């Protein structure tokens, strides 16, 4: 049966996609070349393999090729087949504006998303993460980002260094090179990020060096230049700290006093450290910071498990508010300190 956009099942599928993505941009499909036996592979070939009236290819087996086909500021959408892993052979730098990436697995997952983007060992020092977002207004939904590289400089599961990035129902993990100090599942370096319902890390991958669920630090060469006005909610950091890293690993690391500008907010943060028998340890502090001069990190209703303290010191611009506290000042923010 030939499926087309103008009638029957093909038209229903096409309309369902348009109703879900909510933009006027072009649609590009990425299929894993290993999934040719899947019924959807043939259906999507029938629906999207023909060039459009402008001669534009819309069906790809490479994420990089699909991204290269998008147009900046056009709100184009890349839909990722959610059966197998989409491998990138180098860090994908999303420098265009308003490009939207969506895993087509039904959505709503905190972890184990069907659409996966993975980078293996490249041996290239500049391949820091599977994806580096530097543009404006890009979005990522229903995707699992995996950094499986042992290259020493490849330390991050995802880097947001853009402006107005939107991330929802994604997970980010580093699965290899966990002996390289300073690695983090998510490097937050951007401006005006919205991030919801995400899981960072895995508790079955212990690491005995300094590492973090979220690293907050400005990064040069991107679309922002300062970590500011970021709003996150319902974020889970899932980790397992080895004994030697008790005092240096943490759920959130603010790199230095110049890392943040203005307000940055995380509501309903959930940090969980699994203490493995014989090799694991309880962390000393949930959050490690420095004396910030230009910005705050405001934590609303956080929970920290598997650590003995919440913060290393006062005067770091890190505040906590537990609105369910029994006293009259329960909703007021106080400095995060032991």
Residue 134 corresponds to which tokens in the numbers above? 């530097």
What b/e string do you get for 289-303 counting C-beta neighbours within 10 Å, with b at 16 or more?
Answer: bbebeebbbbbbebe
Instruction: Read off the pLDDT of each residue in 42-47 and give the average, rounded to a whole number.
Output: 61
Listed range (6-20, 72-86, 234-248) with the worst mean pLDDT: 6-20
Strand order, beta sheet including 307-311: 92-94, 131-133, 159-160, 183-188, 211-216, 250-254, 283-288, 307-311
Report whether pLDDT(126) > 50: yes
- List pLDDT tens digits, range 263-320: 999 999 999 999 988 888 999 999 999 988 889 999 999 999 999 988 878 888 898 8
Domain 82-335 sits in CATH at 2.160.20.10
Task: Indicate the domain borders of the chain.
Answer: 1-80, 82-335
Mean of all residue pLDDT scores within the chain: 87
pLDDT score at 311:
86
CA-to-CA separations, 79 to 17, 38, 286, in angstroms, rounded: 9, 16, 36
Report whether pLDDT(105) > 50: yes
Instruction: Read off the pLDDT of each residue in 214-226 and give the average, rounded to a whole number.
Output: 76
Confidence of residue 330 (pLDDT cuts 50, 70, 90): very low
pLDDT score at 171:
98
Confidence of residue 244 (pLDDT cuts 50, 70, 90): very high
DSSP E strands in 180-326: the ranges are: 183-188, 194-200, 211-216, 227-228, 231-239, 250-254, 260-273, 283-288, 295-300, 303-305, 307-311, 318-321
pLDDT score at 103:
94
**More reliable by pLDDT, 50 or 124:** 124
Residue 176 corresponds to which tokens in the numbers above? 């290899």
pLDDT score at 314:
83
pLDDT score at 51:
52
Confidence of residue 331 (pLDDT cuts 50, 70, 90): very low
Confidence of residue 139 (pLDDT cuts 50, 70, 90): very high
Report whether pLDDT(224) > 90: no
pLDDT score at 226:
77
Question: Do residues 333 and 311 touch, judged by C-beta distance below 8 A?
Answer: no
46 vs 48: CA distance, rounded Å = 6
pLDDT score at 332:
43
DSSP-assigned letters across all residues of 81-124: -SSSEEEESS-EEE-SSSEEEEE-S-S--SS--SEEEEE-----
Report whether pLDDT(121) > 80: yes
Report whether pLDDT(65) > 90: yes
Confidence of residue 326 (pLDDT cuts 50, 70, 90): very low
């Amino acid at each position: 049966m030939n499926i087309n956009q103008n009638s029957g099942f093909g038209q229903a599928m096409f309309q369902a996609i348009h109703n879900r993505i909510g933009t006027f941009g072009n649609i590009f499909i990425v299929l894993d070349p290993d999934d040719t036996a899947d019924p959807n592979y043939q259906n999507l070939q029938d629906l999207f393999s023909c060039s459009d009236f402008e001669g534009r290819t819309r069906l790809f087996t490479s994420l990089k090729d699909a991204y290269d086909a998008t147009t900046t500021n056009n709100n184009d959408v890349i839909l990722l087949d959610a059966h197998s892993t989409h491998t990138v052979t180098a860090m994908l730098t999303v420098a265009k504006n308003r490009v939207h990436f969506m895993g087509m697995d039904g959505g709503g997952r905190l972890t184990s998303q069907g659409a996966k983007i993975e980078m293996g060992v490249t041996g290239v020092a500049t391949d820091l993460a599977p994806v580096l977002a530097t543009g404006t207004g890009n979005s990522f939904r229903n995707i699992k980002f995996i950094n499986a590289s042992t290259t020493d400089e490849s330390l991050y599961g995802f880097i947001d260094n853009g402006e107005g990035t939107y991330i929802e129902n994604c997970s980010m993990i580093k699965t290899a090179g966990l002996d390289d100090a300073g690695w983090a599942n998510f490097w937050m370096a951007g401006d005006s990020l919205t991030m919801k319902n995400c899981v960072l890390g895995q508790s079955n991958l212990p690491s005995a060096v300094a590492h973090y669920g979220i690293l907050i630090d400005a990064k040069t060469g991107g679309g922002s230049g300062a970590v500011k006005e970021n709003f996150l909610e319902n974020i889970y950091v899932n980790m397992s700290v080895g004994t030697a890293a008790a005092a240096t690993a943490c759920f959130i690391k603010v790199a230095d006093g110049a890392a943040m500008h203005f307000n940055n907010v995380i509501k309903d943060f959930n940090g969980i450290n699994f203490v493995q028998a014989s090799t694991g340890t309880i962390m000393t502090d949930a959050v490690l910071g420095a004396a910030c001069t230009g910005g705050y990190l405001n934590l609303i209703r956080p929970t920290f498990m598997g650590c003995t303290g919440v913060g290393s010191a006062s005067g770091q611009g890190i505040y906590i508010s537990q609105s369910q506290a029994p006293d009259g000042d329960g909703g007021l923010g106080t400095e995060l300190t032991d």
